Amino acid sequence: MFQLGKTIVSEEIIKNDFVCNLSACKGACCIDGDAGAPVEEEEAKILEEIYPKIKPFLRKKGIEAIEKQGTSITTENGEIETPLIDGADCAYVTFDDKGTALCGIEEAYNQGEIEWKKPVSCHLYPVRVQDYSEFSAVNYHRWQICDDACSLGAELQVPVYKFVKEALIRKFGEDWYMELEKVAERIK
């Protein structure tokens, strides 16, 4: 672990390789698990505001889940998440003709309908950020369904922090990322 500004960062994001391999996992991270994607308070407001523009990109079941539960939900622990369809798929998931899970929010973004890509927690994955009162912890989340992404990352020699560069800059800023690169050079 090392400190960058008000973050404590796991060296695992530098030492481990990762490149999403959607052809292998079929987007399982969006349909497996027992909770929705973490959503920041400001993002919950954005989701509510842009939902009418996202709705045409969603599946019927996703629309039903969102209209029943809301564009985001607050758990018993007070955490905000994306709603789920029957306790499984994220309500914003769509599928391509090969059965690969995709993000309806991101598709609306790619089509120029909205200017917001998706929740930063999704954009950052496999990096997870836990905010505390004095600092944020930046960690690498290991999940068996991402084994193929680890293999592809190793083959291509892409460390986790480089794979999620755009998302890390979105979350912490360009200066923070440049400092991260300097630490990575020293560690490697």
- State the pLDDT at residue 138: 96
b/e map 126-160, b = 16+ CB within 10 Å: bbebeeeeeebebbbeeeeebebbbebbeeeebbb
pLDDT per position as a tens digit, 73-131:
999 999 999 999 988 899 999 999 998 899 999 999 999 999 999 999 999 999 999 98
User: Which band of pLDDT confidence, cut at 50, 70 and 90, is reported for residue 61?
Assistant: very high
pLDDT per position as a tens digit, 118-163:
999 999 999 999 989 899 999 999 888 889 889 989 999 999 999 9
pLDDT, mean of residues 59-78: 95
| Alpha carbon separation from 103 to 28, 55, 82, 145 (Å, rounded) | 12, 12, 12, 18
In what helix (H) or strand (E) does residue 171 lie, and over which residues does it extend?
helix 165-172
pLDDT per position as a tens digit, 166-188:
999 999 999 999 999 999 999 87
Residue 33, pLDDT above cutoff 80: no
Half-sphere exposure of 142 (CA within 13 A, CB side): 7
- State the pLDDT at residue 25: 83
Residue 29, pLDDT above cutoff 90: no
- State the pLDDT at residue 66: 97
Chain centroid offset of residue 123 CA: 4
